[in-house]
Each structure stands twice: as C-alpha cells, then as structure tokens.
Amino acid sequence: MDLGLSGKKAIVTGGSRGIGHAILQNLVDEGVSVATCARGEEALNAALEKWQAQGVDAYGSALDVTDGAAFTDWLENSVESLGGVDVFVSNVTTRVHSQGVQRWQETFEVDLLQHVNATEALLPHLKNSNVGSIVYIASIASIMSANMPTETEYGAMKAALISYASQLANKLGKDNIRVNIVSPGPIYHEGGFWEMVKNKQPDLFKRAEAVSVFNRLGTPQEVANAVAFLASPAASNITGANLRVDGLAIKTVNF
C-alpha cells in the first residue's frame, strides 16, 4: 500500500529510542525527510547517522522540551532545515520523579503544555502544506480509573491531551489539517520502563501482560505502524480519531 508519504517532511519529538525511534524509521523508510529531538545526545546522533546513511535528510538536536524558548527555536530551525513541514508527531514524554503538587506541575509541562507549545509554533507552517497532519501519542492511561500510583498525573494529562487534540481536529479541518491520536497500552522496548518492571517487579510485569488478549505487551513498531498510516495521505478522511494500540487491554466498546 502506497501511503503517499514519499518526499514529505516530518517533525517527530523524542526520536532517539522507543516509540519515537520506530515512528521515524517508518517515515524514513517511506522516503520522508525528518527532524527530531531527544535528551540523550549520543543515542540521537547514532539514530541520525543511520537515517542519513539511508539517503534522506535527517536533522536533530539534544534538548529539553520543557525549555519553552529552546524548544520553539529548535522547531523553527527544523522547519527551515526541512524546507517546510507536512507531518508533526508529538511523541515525547518522560518519567517524573518529584512528588506532591510539584509532580502535577512537572507532568503538566511534560505531557500537556509542551505538546501545545509545539503545535502553536508549527501551525503556521502546517497550514502551508496541502496534506498537513498532526498525530499525538497519548495513552490508555487517559481513560483508566485504576492506574498505577505513578500514573495518576500522567493519565490525567493524557486525557487533557486527547480533549485538546479532538478540539483541534474540529477547528483545523477548514485548513485541511488532520489531527489524530494514538493511545498505546503498555509497550516493551529495550531500556524502557517496562523492561525495568520486568527485571525488578516480574509479578507486576506478568499482570500487565495478562491484560492484553494476546497475553503480551505491545512493541514500538506496532505503535509506529498506526502512526505512519494516520499521518499519511492514505488516511485523508480520518481526523479526530483516537486509535488504541493496546491488544484490547481496555475492554469497552470504542465508539
């Protein structure tokens, strides 16, 4: 199936590993020029070198997306380097270790505000594309009332992100910009959160596996495949959708 992405330009946040890395690899394989950011410079540079070796334009910088000024500057520089932007995948997140009200504040900045800041910065450029597309990476934690204690704030912010994205989809249709959401369930990858759980709390890991009807955790590639389709012109009449990639961990009718 031709996704119609060849020659397009994409910005994906958090691309050095995990879901973000898999999304970018899919886009690069489709012939998309890409820009990404991450906190870890070494892993980011290794990824960029790999994609550049595939013959596509690939740009990136190490930065903290909660540094509003630095993040906005990077987004503008990325648009300039790419010569525009057609696709924006807002993916990046991080684990917050503070407690109490400070934990709520930091989670707000990481899992909601930076998505809004990036969107506002890129919207003028996306409006210049005839195939503008935004995909936000949310989580099934957004609708769960029995999250792990470490995901209380995270789930609330992801719920807010889905509401924001849904309103944007309605607002931006007149500009021919589509907005969609992908909500993964637990995703396992090397060096990720669930690898740590598997090593330190094997019983919890087994319970997480059992939630899926496939009795396993998902993979970054499975999320990336959904993102590539929704971001592409092949999904030209899909907007405002929230696609769960969770192995039916959430057992409700999804209207």
Residue 17: pLDDT band by 50, 70, 90 thresholds? very high
| Residue 154 annotated among the catalytic residues of the structure | yes
- State the pLDDT at residue 146: 78
Calculate mean pLDDT across residues 36-63: 95
In b/e form, how buried is each residue of 148-174, taking b as 16+ CB within 10 angstroms?
eeebebbbbbbbbbbebbbebbeebee
Please say if the pLDDT value at position 81 is more than 90: yes
- State the pLDDT at residue 37: 97
- Domain range 9-190+220-241, its CATH number among 3.30.1300.10, 3.40.190.10, 3.40.50.720, 3.30.390.50: 3.40.50.720
Q: How far apart are CA 251 and CA 185, in angstroms?
A: 12
Please say if the pLDDT value at position 191 is more than 90: no
What rounded mean pLDDT belongs to the chain?
Answer: 95
Percent of the chain exceeding pLDDT 70 equals 100
Catalytic residue, from 136, 154, 164, 188: name it: 154
Percent of the chain exceeding pLDDT 90 equals 87
- Report how far Cα 68 is from the mean position of its chain's Cα atoms: 18
Full-prediction pTM beyond 0.75?
A: yes
Dump pLDDT digits (tens) for 165-175. 999 999 999 99
Dump pLDDT digits (tens) for 101-142. 999 999 999 999 999 999 999 999 999 998 999 999 999 999
Nearest to 86 by CA among 52, 56, 126, 119: 126
